[in-house]
Structures are given as structure tokens and as C-alpha cells.
Amino acid sequence: MAERRTLLMRPLISAGFELAGVAALVAGFWVLAPWLGLVIGGLALVLIGLAIDPPSRNPKAADQ
């Protein structure tokens, strides 16, 4: 039972660390310029979204 709980908690803990990292980046860039913090935060969230759920691609033909 404890092993199953660990398997369920690992993605949540990982996501928490990712969001904490994004928050740290945004805060750091916000100190430099608020608009820069917002831009970096938006880009980071888009990249995390693409990493979690990449767009599907059509399979390539064998002779290409």
C-alpha cells in the first residue's frame, strides 16, 4: 500500500517543484522588470505544458 501511495505522490511532488521553480524565475525577473517577469512566466508555463502533453505527430513514411 505504501508503494502505491509513493507512485501516486511522485508526479504531484514533481509538479510542485516545477511550479516552485517557475515562481522563483518569475520573481527574479520581476525584480528586474515586471513585464519581463510576466513574459518569462508565460513562456515557462507554455514549455511545461508542452513537456507534459506534447502535440501528436503523424508517423513518417518509411521511404522519406
Is 56 part of a structural domain of the chain? no
Asked whether residue 18 is domain-assigned, the answer is: no
pLDDT, average across residues 16-37 = 93
Burial label, 41 (beta-carbon count in 10 A; 0-12, 13-18, 19+): middle
Range with the largest mean pLDDT of 11-20, 26-35, 50-59:
26-35
pLDDT of residue 16: 87
Neighbours of 30 (CB within 10 A): 15
Asked whether residue 60 is assigned to any structural domain, the reply reads no
Q: Indicate if the alpha-carbon torsion angle 44, 46, 52, 58 is positive or negative.
A: negative
Kindly state whether residue 40 falls inside one of the protein's structural domains: yes
Tell me, yes or no, whether 45 lies in a domain. Answer: yes
Q: What does the pLDDT read at residue 62?
A: 65
The letter for the amino acid at 45 is L
What range defines the domain where residue 34 resides? 24-51
Question: Of 38 and 48, which is predicted with more confidence?
Answer: 38
Confidence (pLDDT) at 64: 55
Of 10, 9, 22, the closest CA to residue 49 belongs to 22
Please report whether residue 14 resides in a domain: no
> What residues contact residue 29 under an 8 Å CB cut-off, 6+ apart?
36, 37, 39, 40, 41
Q: Does some domain include residue 17?
A: no
Residue 64 lies in a domain: no
Structurally, how many domains does the chain consist of? 1
The whole-model pTM stands at 0.68
